[in-house]
Amino acid sequence: MAHFIELYDTTLRDGTQAENFNLSVEDKIRITMALDELGIDYIEGGWPGSNPVSVEYFERMQTIVLKHAKLAAFGSTRHFRNRPEQDPNLIALLNAKTPAVTIFGKSWDIHVRDALHIELEDNLLLIEDTLAFLRPYVEHLFYDAEHFFDGFKNNEDYALSTLESAVNGGAETIILCDTNGGTLPHEIPQIIRRVQEYLAERFKTVHLGIHSHNDSETAVANALIAVSETKVRQIQGTINGFGERCGNANLTSIIPALVFKMGVECEVRKNIDTLYTTSRLVNELANLPHNRYQAYVGESAFAHKGGIHVSAVKHNPLTYEHIAPDKVGNIRRILISDQSGRANILHKAKQWDLKLAPDDPLLPTIIAELKTLENAGYQYEGAEASFELLMRRAMGLQRNYFKFESFRVMNHKYQMDKPPLTEATIRLFIGGSEVHTAAMGDGPVNALDSAIRKALTQFYPCLAEMELTDYKVRVLSGEHGTEARVRVLVESKDRHSSWGTVGVSVNIIEASWQALVDSINYKLMKEDLRKPPATP
């Protein structure tokens, strides 16, 4: 029987502790949905009550049904001065109403004395009665043994006794954490086997997991060796390895290794070809650059530039590729070839019900336009609506709903201690009629968005239900200082769905305008597709 692994993603909690990594509530929900589609088993949403974003996230997630994943709330053992039923942290965990709860506690005696300032026996009591209090209220109860490997090496007996307290309290899975990231792969099996031996002597069934950090550049190796050598049940990590300091175990590296190289059974196996797009989505929503050299999901992971490599790969990709790129949703890139991206485009055409054959003469045209735009800075992983519009225009399927003639945006800073007044003016044509409108706004993009809506809603009432939910700007190159190009990513939604669009320019207003226009065109296109066909 194949070894089964639970994959536990903590991008939304541990990942957000990375420097410059920030997510809105909308971002967290969108990532949650993507992780669910990927097949992640548990998604740790954050620490309920720790900040307004987490509070709103857990409230909104109570109305969202996930297909496979189970949402987990994260928190600590109770405060020493509080009884469990009176501890605000534990009450917040229950109020989150998640099927899974993960509690972390101290395994290292140094932390008990120097961080909690309590006796070692008191810490054992905190662990056991915290978990015992939660056990009747949650479907799955996990215990993260914080700093376990360092604690084990410093005081083996005490570290093991903390795990015994956790199992006595009702934890079904104990996750051994290398919180400081200093443990090396050769140390992992011996320590876990000792844990297994200790728990087997005392309990009938206890599952183990591993949570490794990357401060020694071994987080992925530590997780994989824990699976191969000791058969742990759960791996915790983050998409793209985001996390505090040097990051966490990178699930985008761990998952393909488990599936394709180790034969491990996991739900993600069914949807692993979406790994690439999931990786890109997290980067885009965090407004962070993609690591092109990242294993499996980086742009350069299957890129071949020239010479003998290209010749060999064209004859047999196995000569210079350890797996086929499409297995994880990536593509092979022969940098001197016009074939790059062909399979990806055909895949999207099928997904959007566009009739595009491999030998269609339009395909090279779409590829060429895509390459030109990507060279200019466009990225479509977080803006698939813009890419669908691009394909439909190339195929002659995109209706021209309006024609823009001009726009103007003015900022008037009339008093230094007050915000500026911003006004946008739009001139466009719809069906031969000229429309000229103006609108005020909280900043130039909001004013421009308001003016466009004001001009178009009278002709297309469905736009009234559409709203802009997120707006991100990334400077693409600092070579020219304030003249550098920027990429604007806009997220919009209506009562049916949400979608992302993109614009690129040296002018931030121009880039924003491109993204806003694409967003409106996409909404109108979708409304057309929803209409029933006309009866003959």
Report phi then psi at 125, rounded to 5.
-65, -40
Tokens of 65: 């049904």
Q: Quick check: is 50 in a domain? A: yes
Q: What is the pTM of this model?
A: 0.75
Q: Print the domain residue range for 475.
A: 403-530
Q: Could you say which of 263, 285, 307 is where a domain stops? A: 285
SS3 assignment, position 303: strand
**pLDDT above 90: residue 306:** no
pLDDT band of 313, cuts 50, 70, 90: low
pLDDT of residue 432: 83
Tokens, residue 116: 């909690």
* Across 291-305, 338-352, 491-505, least confident range: 338-352
Are residues 279 and 411 part of one domain? Answer: no
Select, from the ranges 99-103, 439-443, 482-486, the one with the highest average predicted confidence (pLDDT). Answer: 99-103
Kindly report the number of other CB atoms within 10 A of residue 309's CB atom: 15
* Residues pairing with 409 in the sheet: 424
| CA 461 distance to own-chain centroid | 34
What is the Cα 355 distance to its own chain's centre? 31
Quick check: 337 and 368 in contact, CB under 8 A? no
Whether 78 is in a domain gets the answer yes
**Residue 360 placed within a domain:** no
The structural domain count of the chain equals: 2
Q: What percent of the chain has pLDDT over 70?
A: 94
Name the pLDDT band for 37 (thresholds 50, 70, 90).
very high
Evaluate whether residue 293 is within a structural domain.
no
Residue 523 lies in a domain: yes
DSSP string across 250-277: BHHHHHHIIIIIS--B-GGGGGGGGHHH
H helix intervals, 170-210: 188-200
Query: What 3-state class would DSSP assign to 295?
Result: coil
Q: Which of 58-62, 135-139, 331-335, 482-486 has the lowest mean pLDDT?
A: 331-335
Q: Which helix (H) or strand (E) holds 297?
A: none
How many helices and strands (H and E) does the chain possess? 17, 16
CA 422 centroid distance within chain: 34
